[in-house]
């Protein structure tokens, strides 16, 4: 018996015997803690997209947690075991940092098997056919507010980022007629990692004289007219313009602190 | 008083001037050393060299390893002959052809790159052509390193004689030694020597690309800059990857200390397919081939990191992963 099966069996046994922790809800097995919000996937139920579904991912647990009104209860997808289970919504606890845990007394009700087809997982819950598949690419001009609104993963990462206050102050005070045009790909993992940081900087600089524009590219993007026009060779690429003239680009090494890179570029531009 | 007739001096063609001979000898020596150093470096990792030959379309139907060994033999023999001052018209003709061939290859790449036609790093599609030197720089470097030496080597060529047979035997012998070494190199523990990855290297120094496009490992995988990690560079498309992934999953599920991270050059969509197919419990990061390729001779290759510094490397996955996979 594998370690994972032992964990699940133990969990189910404990669940059947009743809550182990009395009234105080305790996190279950460490494997089922810290599910992170993700915007990389979309839920499709009965052929219809469910954009409001909340999807959480745990790499360590090899599991996805789906919370949507399309199903009577949350759905836990065990990617490794290729099984699907449901559980009581009251046994899902959201933490202050936006991650969620499954409580120790949660009962997992087996709901069927997971079928894997290329880049998506398919299953049935409550008689409904469902699939989790990659979110379609966002292409063309985008606004930061729309990107944040549409992607839980972006929102979560942006919320965890704390831009340098001094750099933000300098940008608020010194930026005039500045435009930051960022090329990105929703398919690019490095954009998923870094773009939310710039989105958070934009949110912090809402009152500054800096306009942030975003442009989603396909993969590959070498033939895309805007990418060619701006000489984009990799994503994310942020072009910084002052008075319509390009004064610099955030270097790859600057994406972990985009506010510092932006401040330095604008300082250099005088 | 009679003057005794002096014996006539033997008639011969005028030899090269001493200055021309020295200049020619120096040029030949310089070009020969450049070729020998280049051959020695490539002999450490003939598989990679063979891949490049095939990618350039100049393998002439040979398998990559055979093409690499043949090229090393030619380069070493010519380099050694030049160092040994065997500057016959035939040898310099061969050296000229070799240099012209190198310039053709780098010139072709520079031409393609200038028109945006050079192959970009595939990886996840996020990056452009990440290279340590641009095709244009490569062409300039080749011109500087090869052409002056070659041009000078034609000056003041020595005449026939002077143990040429022995010197030719030495050049051919050295070529055979290099070929033999290259053939054995993949089985020799030379990874740290032949690649950029070895103990003491830091993740912020593992980079690819130039200018604003330059990316380093600590930017792509910030978590590696802190704490302790077991890292595996792997080919996710290789037949053995599923088994490696199962071992890594077992490592993580067993507590996974230090945590395991896999770096792989993945095509767009491949990570999402792996997400379902192998259900990685470990961190799987996409890193462009341009950054990864100089770090290994064969995959998988493992290394241990402490606070962003490589402390140990392995040819293969880290031994700490040894054990039965869970599934």
pLDDT at A254: 87
CA distances from A141 to A213, A247, A251, A262, A266 (A): 7, 21, 22, 21, 24
pLDDT tens figures, A235-257? 889 999 999 999 999 887 788 89
Q: Check pLDDT > 90 for residue A133.
A: yes
From the CA of A256, how many Å to the nearest CA of chain B?
Answer: 7
Look over chain B and give the mean of its residue pLDDT values, rounded to a whole number: 84
In this structure, are residues A36 and A99 in contact, taking their beta carbons and an 8 Å threshold?
A: yes
Q: Nearest-CA neighbor of A100 among A134, A60, A70, A55?
A: A55
User: Which structural domain, as residue segments, surrounds residue B207?
Assistant: 194-321
CA dist A28 and A86 (Å) reads 15
Assign residue A216 the CATH number of its domain: 3.40.30.10
User: Which structural domain, as residue segments, surrounds residue A189?
Assistant: 140-268
- Inter-chain touch B211–A251, beta carbons under 8 Å: yes
Residue B117 resides in a domain: yes
pLDDT at B109: 78
CA dist B228 and A44 (Å) reads 39
A223/A160 same-domain check: yes
> Hey, is the C-beta of B268 within 8 angstroms of any chain A C-beta?
yes
| Nearest residue, CB atoms, B279 vs list A2, A79, A119 | A79
A12/A122 same-domain check: yes
Number of domains forming the structure of chain A: 2
pLDDT at A54: 95
pLDDT band of B324, cuts 50, 70, 90: low
- Inter-chain touch B125–A60, beta carbons under 8 Å: no
Q: Check pLDDT > 50 for residue A265.
A: yes
CA dist B113 and A16 (Å) reads 65
As a whole number, mean pLDDT of residues B215-219 equals: 83
Q: Which residue has the higher pLDDT, B254 or B160?
A: B254
pLDDT band of B131, cuts 50, 70, 90: low
pLDDT at B254: 84
- The dihedral built from the CA positions of residue B209, B210, B213 and B216, taken in this order, carries a sign that is positive
Kindly list the residues from chain B whose CB atom is less than 8 angstroms away from the CB atom of residue A230: none
pLDDT band of B2, cuts 50, 70, 90: very low
A114/A44 same-domain check: yes
- The dihedral built from the CA positions of residue A248, A254, A258 and A262, taken in this order, carries a sign that is negative
B160/B107 same-domain check: yes
B247/B163 same-domain check: no
Interface predicted TM-score (ipTM)? 0.80
A243/A165 same-domain check: yes
pLDDT band of A161, cuts 50, 70, 90: very high
CA dist A154 and A146 (Å) reads 11
Residue B87 resides in a domain: yes
In this structure, are residues B263 and B12 in contact, taking their beta carbons and an 8 Å threshold?
A: no
Picking from B153, B188, B223, the residue at the C-terminal end of a domain is B188
As a whole number, mean pLDDT of residues B254-268 equals: 87
pLDDT at B94: 92
A203/A235 same-domain check: yes
Q: Give the strand pairing for B309-314 and A48-49.
A: unpaired
pLDDT tens figures, B68-83? 999 999 999 999 999 9
Q: Which residue has the higher pLDDT, B32 or B128?
A: B32
pLDDT band of A26, cuts 50, 70, 90: very low
Residue B5 resides in a domain: no
CA dist B84 and A68 (Å) reads 79
CA dist B87 and B93 (Å) reads 9
| Nearest residue, CB atoms, A234 vs list B213, B277, B282 | B213
Q: Check pLDDT > 90 for residue B213.
A: no
Residue B7 resides in a domain: no
In this structure, are residues A119 and B273 in contact, taking their beta carbons and an 8 Å threshold?
A: yes
Q: Check pLDDT > 50 for residue A195.
A: yes
A205/A258 same-domain check: yes
pLDDT tens figures, B91-110? 999 999 999 988 888 888 77
- Inter-chain touch A234–B127, beta carbons under 8 Å: yes
Picking from B188, B209, B230, the residue at the C-terminal end of a domain is B188
Picking from A88, A114, A134, the residue at the C-terminal end of a domain is A134
Residue B223 resides in a domain: yes
- Inter-chain touch B215–A253, beta carbons under 8 Å: yes
B61/B206 same-domain check: no
Q: How many CA atoms are closer than 13 Å to the CA of A257, on its beta-carbon side?
A: 12
Picking from A100, A134, A168, the residue at the C-terminal end of a domain is A134
pLDDT band of A2, cuts 50, 70, 90: very low
pLDDT at B118: 59
Number of domains forming the structure of chain B: 2
* Three-class SS of chain B: CCCCCCCCCCCCCCCCCHHHHHHHHHHHHHHHHHHHHHHHHHHHCHHHHHHHHHHCCCCCCCCHHHHHHHHHHHHHHHHHHHHCCCCCHHHHHHHHHHHHHHHHHHHHHHHHHHCCCCCCCCCCCCCCCCCCCCHHHHHHHHHHHHHHHHHHHCCCCCCCCCCHHHHHHHHHHHHHHHHHHHHHHHHCCCHHHHCCCCCCCEHHHCEECCHHHCEEHHHHCHHHHCCEEEEEEECCCCCCHHHHHHHHHHHHHCCCCCCEEEEECCCCCHHHHHHHHCCCCCEEEECCHHHHHHHCCCCCEEEEEECCEEEEEECCCCHHHCCCCCC
Q: Which residue has the higher pLDDT, A28 or B179?
A: B179
Assign residue B233 the CATH number of its domain: 3.40.30.10
pLDDT at A60: 87
Q: Which residue has the higher pLDDT, B276 or A25?
A: B276
Q: Which residue has the higher pLDDT, A64 or B4?
A: A64
B127/B164 same-domain check: yes
CA dist B82 and B86 (Å) reads 6
A178/A239 same-domain check: yes
The neighbouring-strand residues paired with B306 are B228, B309
B70/B142 same-domain check: yes
pLDDT at B117: 59
> Hey, is the C-beta of B55 within 8 angstroms of any chain A C-beta?
no
Kindly list the residues from chain A whose CB atom is less than 8 angstroms away from the CB atom of residue B126: 185, 188-191, 234-235
A166/A248 same-domain check: yes
B156/B276 same-domain check: no
Residue B4 resides in a domain: no
> Hey, is the C-beta of B127 within 8 angstroms of any chain A C-beta?
yes
B49/B179 same-domain check: yes
Q: Check pLDDT > 90 for residue A268.
A: no
pLDDT band of A12, cuts 50, 70, 90: very low
pLDDT band of A181, cuts 50, 70, 90: very high
| Nearest residue, CB atoms, A188 vs list B125, B129, B272 | B125
3-state secondary structure of A213: strand
From the CA of B312, how many Å to the nearest CA of chain A?
Answer: 25
pLDDT at A75: 97
B285/B221 same-domain check: yes
A130/A24 same-domain check: yes
CA dist A35 and A52 (Å) reads 18
B154/B53 same-domain check: yes
Picking from A84, A107, A134, the residue at the C-terminal end of a domain is A134
Kindly list the residues from chain B whose CB atom is less than 8 angstroms away from the CB atom of residue A187: 124-125, 268-269
As a whole number, mean pLDDT of residues B17-26 equals: 88
Residue B13 resides in a domain: no
A115/A90 same-domain check: yes
A21/A113 same-domain check: yes
CA dist A189 and A235 (Å) reads 10
pLDDT at B308: 92
Residue B11 resides in a domain: no
As a whole number, mean pLDDT of residues B25-40 equals: 93
pLDDT at A171: 92
> Hey, is the C-beta of A42 within 8 angstroms of any chain B C-beta?
no
In this structure, are residues B273 and A79 in contact, taking their beta carbons and an 8 Å threshold?
A: no
A159/A96 same-domain check: no
């Amino acid at each position: 018996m594998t370690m994972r099966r032992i964990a699940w069996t133990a969990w189910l046994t404990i669940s059947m015997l009743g809550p182990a922790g009395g009234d105080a809800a305790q996190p279950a097995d460490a494997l089922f803690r810290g599910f992170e919000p993700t915007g990389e996937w979309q839920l499709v139920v009965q052929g219809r997209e469910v954009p409001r579904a909340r999807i959480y991912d745990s790499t360590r647990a090899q599991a996805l947690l789906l919370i949507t009104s399309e199903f009577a209860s949350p759905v836990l997808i065990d990617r490794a075991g290729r099984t699907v289970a449901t559980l009581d919504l009251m046994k899902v606890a959201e933490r202050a940092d936006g991650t969620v845990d499954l409580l120790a007394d949660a009962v997992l009700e087996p709901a069927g098997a997971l079928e894997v087809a290329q880049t998506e997982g398919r299953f049935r819950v409550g008689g409904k056919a469902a699939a989790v598949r990659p979110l379609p690419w966002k292409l063309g001009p985008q606004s930061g507010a729309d990107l944040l609104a549409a992607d839980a993963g972006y929102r979560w990462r942006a919320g965890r980022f704390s831009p340098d206050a001094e750099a933000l102050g300098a940008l608020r005070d010194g930026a005039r007629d500045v435009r930051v045009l960022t090329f990105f790909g929703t398919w690019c993992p490095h954009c998923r990692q870094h773009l939310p940081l710039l989105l958070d900087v934009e949110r912090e600089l809402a009152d500054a004289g800096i306009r942030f524009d975003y442009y989603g590219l396909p993969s590959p993007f070498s033939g895309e007219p805007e990418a060619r026009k701006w000489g984009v060779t990799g994503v994310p690429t942020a072009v910084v313009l002052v008075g319509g003239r390009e004064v610099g680009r955030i270097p790859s090494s600057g994406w972990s602190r985009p506010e510092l890179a932006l401040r330095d570029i604008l300082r250099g531009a005088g | 008083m009679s003057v005794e007739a002096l014996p006539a001096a033997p008639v011969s063609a005028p030899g090269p001037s001493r200055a021309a001979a020295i200049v020619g000898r120096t040029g030949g020596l310089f070009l020969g050393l450049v070729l020998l150093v280049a051959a020695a470096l490539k002999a450490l990792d003939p598989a990679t060299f063979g891949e490049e030959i095939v990618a350039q379309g100049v393998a002439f139907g040979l398998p990559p390893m055979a093409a690499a060994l043949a090229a090393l033999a030619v380069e070493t023999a010519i380099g050694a002959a030049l160092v040994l001052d065997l500057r016959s018209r035939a040898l310099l003709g061969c050296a000229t052809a070799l240099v012209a061939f190198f310039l053709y290859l780098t010139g072709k790449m520079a031409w393609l790159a200038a028109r945006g036609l050079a192959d970009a790093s595939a990886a996840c599609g996020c990056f452009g052509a990440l290279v340590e030197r641009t095709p244009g720089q490569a062409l300039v470097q080749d011109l500087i390193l090869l052409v002056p030496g070659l041009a000078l080597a034609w000056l003041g060529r020595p005449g026939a004689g002077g143990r040429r047979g022995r010197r030719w035997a030495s050049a051919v012998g050295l070529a055979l030694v290099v070929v033999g070494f290259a053939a054995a190199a993949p089985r020799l523990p030379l990874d740290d020597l032949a690649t950029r990855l070895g103990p003491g290297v830091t993740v912020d120094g593992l980079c690819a690309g130039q200018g604003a496009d330059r990316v380093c490992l600590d930017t792509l995988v910030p978590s590696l800059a802190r704490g302790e990690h077991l890292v595996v560079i792997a080919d996710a498309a290789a037949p053995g990857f599923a088994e490696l992934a199962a071992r890594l999953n077992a490592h993580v599920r067993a507590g996974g200390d230090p945590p395991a991270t896999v770096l792989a050059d993945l095509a767009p969509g491949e990570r999402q397919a792996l997400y379902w197919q192998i259900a990685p419990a470990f961190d799987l990061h996409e890193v462009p081939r341009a950054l990864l390729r100089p770090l290994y001779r064969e995959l998988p290759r493992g290394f241990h990191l402490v606070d962003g510094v490589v402390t140990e490397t392995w040819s293969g996955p880290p031994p700490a992963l040894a054990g039965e996979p869970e599934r």
